[in-house]
Amino acid sequence: MNEDIFDERGFLKKPRGKTKEKWFEIGKNKVASNISLEIRKGVRYFICVTAPYNYVTCINHNLWGVEPRNKNIIKKTSPRDIILFYIKSEKKFGVVCEITSNVFYDNSPVWKDGIYPYRIQIKPLFSSQYPKKIDQILIENLDFIPRKDNKWGCALQRSMLEISEKDFFTILSYLNDR
């Protein structure tokens, strides 16, 4: 990870002054700082909920994994589907990734706090240059969050969830808005 651009959680640091760079490195990947994804027929969208230390591991290994109790949701994924990381203790969205493999089982250790044997390979596509915490304006516009009060986070108390195309592009627009 490029320490000059990213902080210890994998977020792009806010640059001093103006910058014209539009691409940054995350792990072995070049990632856009601003992106306009086209709607793709048949693509599904997912949010992957993780802790900051696991988020960095996922990005560095181009890998996402879940525990056996969550295997049904990850088995809904296919190559070309899109995932968006949500870093729970930060209440921020991280990198947008494309899934590059089918689900596979591997119990080799990757993460420090667990095995997460049901896995998919991912390729980072986009990282907000200025990550923003989720705010009330965004919450009001997301259909997958049923409670719009201070308990909205209950909707994200799982490791992975599928969201609508509308919700994904609402979040993407929010991340692109500076």
Domain spanning 23-33+42-176 has what CATH number?
Answer: 3.10.590.10
- Is residue 89 scored above 80 in pLDDT? yes
Q: Over the stretch 93-144, which tens digit does the pLDDT of each residue have? A: 888 999 999 999 999 999 999 999 999 999 988 766 556 678 888 888 899 9
In 15-108, beta strands by DSSP E: 23-26, 29-32, 45-50, 63-66, 82-87, 92-99, 104-105
Top pLDDT among 48 and 139 is at 48
Question: Domain segments of the chain: what residues?
Answer: 23-33+42-176
